[in-house]
Structure 1
Amino acid sequence: MEKVLLLHSSSDGQTIKIMRHIEASLGEGYQCELVDLNQLPDVEFSRYDRALIGASIRYGHLNKALYQFIAKHQSALAQHKVGFFCVNLTARKEGKNTPETSVYIKKFLQKSAWRPELMGVFAGALRYPRYKWFDRVMIQFIMRLTGGETDTSKEVEYTDWQKVAAFAGQFKAL
């Protein structure tokens, strides 16, 4: 049985939901451990056969804890089978939903010396009723600018679950 470390940096839970879908897609033969990267865990990568890091974008940025974690564990990341994916609302649009076309992956690669073996980009979810007032107003403003949903009574999940399952298959093949 392969041991898999699933590290997440999630703002509103969609990254965790995507990780759980990947875990289910891996199927039998994989024992997964889900860990919150924002807690800056001390990780012994040698205990795992592979690892996956998933991080969400909030107001155009990945969490600083992600970069701190990568800096701390860069040599271990380079020596193990590790994949990375980013979750954001921009990826709901065609042409902005691949590692090659995602502005957030480009920013990530500029800020980080780590080059994951496998990278993915997934559209997140819009959960207006769950947001605090400030976040709801700011996200609505951003969505208005980008031609997205602005009805604050709605929750919209943009994640393409078939794409997530295909990514899980690529992760298995590392």
Structure 2
Amino acid sequence: MIILVGYATIEGQTRKIAEAIAANIEAAGDRALLFDITSGAEYALGHPEAAILCAPVHAARYPHAFASFVRQEASWLNGVPSAFVSVSMLIRSEFEEEQEEATHFPDGLLAETGWKPARVHHAAGALRYTEYDFFKRWIIRRMAEHENAPTDVSRDHEFTDWVALKAFVDDVLTLAKA
């Protein structure tokens, strides 16, 4: 089975998540087509038999290029087993209302595009302090203090639950082969 693993990334964690998904697919004996939706490259992969798309949430929105791609491909995505991985930091918040908010981020995207993925997984992202400029590092550190998240700006902090992500991929593969 050939499975499209399409992703949009801003700071790199969603790409890392998509790469892990592709590796899990390949380890299960299927073929993964890893595609950076925001690269501007022409989508010329044909129509694989299934799809897992991944995108980060920033300021309560997914990247415009990602939403455009999903809107353009919604008919095909709805015709094959498909799944969505929404990447946000709020999903790991200690505040239940913020976690609840994060679980609803996909709602707007799905309503806007008409896509109906069979499964949605919420993955926590990362704080990439070492890659931020001074201003962004200062802002993110202040936000992290509010969330009781790590504030050591001398290193990056990753929160993705790789075991849960693998279980999600296994579930999607089972669904796709049913």
TM-score higher than 0.5: yes
Structural mapping, 1:93-172, within 5 Å:
93=93, 95=96, 102-172=103-173
Number of aligned residue pairs: 171
Q: Which residue of 2 aligns with 1:49?
A: 49
Contact 1:38 1:65 in 2 (8 A): yes
Q: Does 1:38 align with 2:38?
A: yes
Instruction: Name the counterpart of 1:86.
Output: 86
State the TM-score, normalizing by the size of structure 2: 0.83
Once the two structures are superposed, residues 137-167 of structure 1 have per-residue CA deviations (whole angstroms, 9 ceiling, x without a partner) of 2322322333322232231111111101111
Q: Which amino acid aligns with 2:20?
A: H
Change (3 A) 1:78 1:166: same
Shift of 1:43: 4.7
Aligned residues: percent identity?
Answer: 26
Q: Equivalent residue for 1:24?
A: 23
Query: Counting helix residues as a fraction of each chain, which structure ranks higher?
Result: 2
Gaps of 5+ in 2: none
Rounded to whole Å, the distance in 1 between the matches of 2:169 and 2:99 is 16
- Per the alignment, do residues 172 and 163 of structure 1 end up closer, same or farther by CA in structure 2, a change over 3 Å counting? same
Cα 1:14–1:118 change in 2 (3 A) is same
Go from structure 1 to structure 2 and tell me whether the alpha carbon gap of 1:165 and 1:28 turns closer, same or farther (over 3 Å shift). Answer: closer
Instruction: Report the aligned-residue RMSD.
Output: 2.3
- 1:10 is matched with 9
Q: Deviations over 1:98-134 (max 9, x none)?
A: 8x96142344344432121111100111110111233
Higher share in strand: 1
- C-alpha distance in 2 between matches for 1:118 and 1:11: 23
Higher mean alpha-carbon deviation, 35-44 vs 16-25, is at 35-44
Native 8 Å contact 1:97 1:123 kept in 2: no
How far is the alpha carbon of 1:85 from its aligned partner? 0.7
Aligned to 2:64: 64
- State the TM-score, normalized to the length of structure 1: 0.85
Q: Residues of 2 paired with 1:61 and 1:133: CA distance? A: 24
Contact 1:86–1:120 at 8 Å: present in 2 too?
A: yes
Q: How many angstroms apart in 2 are the aligned matches of 1:137 and 1:14?
A: 20
Q: Deviations over 1:44-100 (max 9, x none)?
A: 553x111110001223321011111111111111111111111111122365668x9
Partner amino acid for 2:142?
F
Is there any run of 5+ residues in structure 1 with no aligned partner, and where?
Answer: none
